[in-house]
Amino acid sequence: MILLSKTRRHLLALGLGVAILSTGSLAAPRAYAADPVEVAALFTGSITQGNWDPPGYAAFDKMVKKYDFKPSYIENATYEKAPAILRQLASRGVKMIICHSSGYSAAIQEVAKEFPNTQFVLYSYASSTGDLKNYTAWSVDWDQYGYVTGAVAAAASKNKHIAMISGEEIPSAKRAQEFTVKGAKAQVADIKVDTVYTGSFTDVAKAKEIATGVIARGADVLLPSADLADVGTQQAADEEEAHTIGAYMDESKSYPNAVITSTVLNFDKAYDQMGALMTEGKLGGKVYNMDLSNDGWTLSKPFKHVDAGVETEVFATMTKIAKGEIDVEK
């Protein structure tokens, strides 16, 4: 666990005491600006590696600079240690703590009630905030996300066989897997869909081993959903001449021979809303949905390695979902 701070307090000690200088008259009281509000963020992995934490940290960094917050962040914060980390941060006076994964939801609901003056925020997925007035969530519509990426993979697959490789069985991953299968079968009724959990968001070697195995069994389009471990899935697709979809940010430059398109989450929008509501004192007790109707996420263009008609068809589907003409829940 690494605790870093972008602000430092510099103290200057002269000798063994503090010298008080006087000119013979009392100076007028000096006004000092209020200390900036301290906010912190928890990340499951490294902010410089992978496809989930780096864009999340970038959005966090933009937000704290815009709203003049005092920031700190913790990398490699496991779900098991999250309650202790949250208590430590809240006890020292951090006013807003952002958790960048749905896997932190249980920890927030456990700890938030103990610190009513601290705002706890989650980005990824939450169905509710448990009636806690100091818990707010920005929830990506992983149902839409899974449905659309499943449709892309099915449309692109020549073998009618795709695979989704996820990390841990957290709420967002379960939703995405369920609806990936649904979207794929809506596109190609007889498509075969393998769904696998690696059990880790960081085990690149395991993800690559699993990906190589599903490719050997006939899957020709892979859907990565294991954050840092996605590197293994993408590498396997690139080396074995299969195709894949970049996750959370545009990954086409990293794997140009394999990536068809990438999902691009609007981290900046969500984090900016967090900062604005915190500044206005309006955080608390709500779930803000991030979906296709409000620019919560999209797909990168142009599509590669597929017929042009695939991109047109997929974006037409996305537009219908955004307008409510297609209900992915049915």
pLDDT tens digits for range 179-190: 999 999 999 999
Nearest-angstrom CA–CA distance, 224 and 205: 14
Q: How far apart are the first and last CA of the chain?
A: 42
Does one domain contain both 120 and 171? no
Q: What pLDDT does 33 receive?
A: 52
Reported confidence tier of residue 109, pLDDT bands at 50, 70, 90: very high
Q: Which domain holds residue 210?
A: 142-265+298-323
Stretch (H or E) spanning 222: strand 221-225
Report residue 123 as tokens: 């980005």
Reported confidence tier of residue 26, pLDDT bands at 50, 70, 90: very low
Does one domain contain both 213 and 303? yes
Residue 19 inside a domain? The answer is: no
Report residue 257 as tokens: 């021979």
CATH classification of the domain holding 236:
3.40.50.2300
Instruction: Give the mean pLDDT of 218-237.
Output: 95
Does one domain contain both 207 and 318? yes
Does one domain contain both 169 and 213? yes
∠ at Cα 78 (90, 267), nearest 5°? 75
CA 224, chain centre distance (Å): 14
Task: Tell me the residue type at 201.
Answer: F
Percent of the chain scored above 70 by pLDDT? 90
Q: What pLDDT does 146 receive?
A: 95
Residue 20 inside a domain? The answer is: no
Per the prediction, the chain carries an average pLDDT of: 90
Q: What pLDDT does 14 receive?
A: 31
Reported confidence tier of residue 284, pLDDT bands at 50, 70, 90: confident
Does one domain contain both 93 and 206? no
Top pLDDT among 165 and 6 is at 165
Q: Tell me: pLDDT of 195 over 70.
A: yes
Does one domain contain both 242 and 98? no
Q: Tell me: pLDDT of 261 over 90.
A: yes
Instruction: Give the mean pLDDT of 290-295.
Output: 98
Beta bridge partners of 47: none
pTM of the model: 0.86
Is 65:32 a contact under the CB 8 Å cutoff? no
Does one domain contain both 257 and 170? yes
Helix 171-187 vs helix 142-156: angle between axes, to the nearest 10 degrees?
40
